[in-house]
Chains A and B, each alone.
Chain A
Amino acid sequence: MEFPDDLKYSKEHEWVLVEENVATIGISAFAEHQLGDVVFVELPATGDEVAKDEAMGVVESVKAVSDVYSPVSGEVVEVNDDLPENTELVNDDPYGDGWMVKIEMTDPTDLDDLMDCEEYQKFCAETSG
């Protein structure tokens, strides 16, 4: 399982790519693997305000329903419109074409609570152990 080292990770298994003040968010390989084949994705709309640690979307596999939490507070500035029709991208390319939303952050210190690649791998090992 791959965990790119240029990303930060949340305990709810979202990844965050930070470019200046914008956070791109998706779910990790661990999360998509746990879920299995993703068959439904519901995302916020561009312009929506989201709050740190609150549910902003939903991913569903055949069997399970799982909330997607926003690891940061801010405004949704872009949404991956390909996902609802091509939900398999979440499984096939979780860190690439399977990205979910871009959020313009209101408080960059939100990032301080996130894990780096190494910490997150340890966290996953404990979670699945």
Chain B
Amino acid sequence: MEVVDEGSDGRVARVSLLRTPLFEAHRAAGARLVEFAGWEMPVQYEGIMAEHAMVRERAGLFDVSHMGQVEVRGPRALERLQWVTANDVSLLADGRAQYSLLLAPDGGIVDDIIIYRQQADRFLVCVNASNREADVAHMREHCAGADLVDRSDEFALLALQGPRATEVLGELTDTELSEVSSFAFVDATVAGVSCLAARTGYTGEDGWELYCSAASGPALWAAILDAGRDQGVGPAGLGARDTLRLEAALPLYGHELSLEVQPFEARLGWVVKLDKGDSIASAALRQARERGPERKLVGIEVPKGGIARQDHALLDGDRRIGTVTSGTRSPSLGKAIGLGYVEPQLSRVGSEIAVEIRGRKVPARVVALPFYRRPD
């Protein structure tokens, strides 16, 4: 696929997109392919609604090989990661993973990441595809003294998510998966393929993210789909991934998170561990915490009259109070939901506000997050 990129001089360039090791499998499955962060990715196979329901009720397999992986090694790896990220990396043991943020000196969010501690002096950092280059540059600048290797191209990354994920994967490995807790990971052989198998995900369901070599990605993909077929498990695209993560109120970089957003505004105060010692943004974040946020991320519901979408204005009467960052019709709940930033005094659950949809003021309400929580 080519993307037509119109430059500021009006000249049109055709840009080839990157493809994951599973590209041919997607094409063979009849996926609809779209551009995402410079990659040609499957947005859907059967349809977003069907794939969304499949993940909630059974399980779905996602190709997220476009995501980046940066290895941080050496005697100063821990110290440098502590410096550049928000969470306390020293809390990690071998085989444990942590959600965190790469921060700029002013507290802005460079990326949201997962850090896997493989050994005391070896960490794998999983980053968003859209930020990979910026992240690597940022880490090179602020992690001097640690060995940094961008290993993104070496990996395929498959995510099997949903209530049947562990059962389906269990058929393909001798590893006792039930002993691996949430945000833990193990080295496992799945369908003959060596993997880092992590109990993490981005859908609000139980599930696994499997890092394997790029070359063995297609075999692993096919084996999981074979094992899951009887259970109603199939491939799921980025469209369903987006509706699933939004229902679970998981932020997406470029929507809820950016360099202009600070963690306390984005409901990510729990990630910020200021007591771990000085770090790149600790001075800015201490100030920000004392001052209190100027805006807060909230969940909104639009009972009728339209669907709130990214960039729609949020209003209190006729006064602009914020902006929608993500919005869709929730397939699980059957109503329009969204995330957005509003002034703190209107962030309380139950606040009656409005969203401007195509020039019309449509009533909306601030609701508790997440929109969807999986049954115990």
Contacts and interface: CB of A to CB of B under 8 A. Distances in A.
A64 to B, nearest CB: 10
Interface in B328-361: 328-329, 331, 336, 358
A36 B44 CA distance: 9
Nearest to A88: B49
Interface string A37-61: 1011010000000000000001011
A61 B239 CA distance: 11
B371 to A, nearest CB: 14
B26 to A, nearest CB: 16
A111 to B, nearest CB: 28
Interface of B: 43-44, 47-49, 52, 239, 242-243, 306-307, 309, 328-329, 331, 336, 358
Contacts of A124: none
Given A40-B307, A40-B329, A58-B358, A63 B47 contact: no
A62 B309 contact: no
Contacts of A39: 49, 307, 329
A40 B331 CA distance: 12
A118 B331 CA distance: 36
A114 B187 CA distance: 61
Contacts of B47: 36-37
Contact of A61 (B48, B52, B242, B358): B48
B310 to A, nearest CB: 10
Contact of A62 (B306, B329, B358): B329
25 contacts: A36-B47, A36-B239, A37-B47, A37-B48, A37-B49, A39-B49, A39-B307, A39-B329, A40-B306, A40-B329, A40-B336, A42-B306, A58-B358, A62-B49, A62-B52, A62-B239, A62-B243, A62-B328, A62-B329, A63-B43, A63-B48, A63-B242, A63-B328, A65-B307, A65-B309
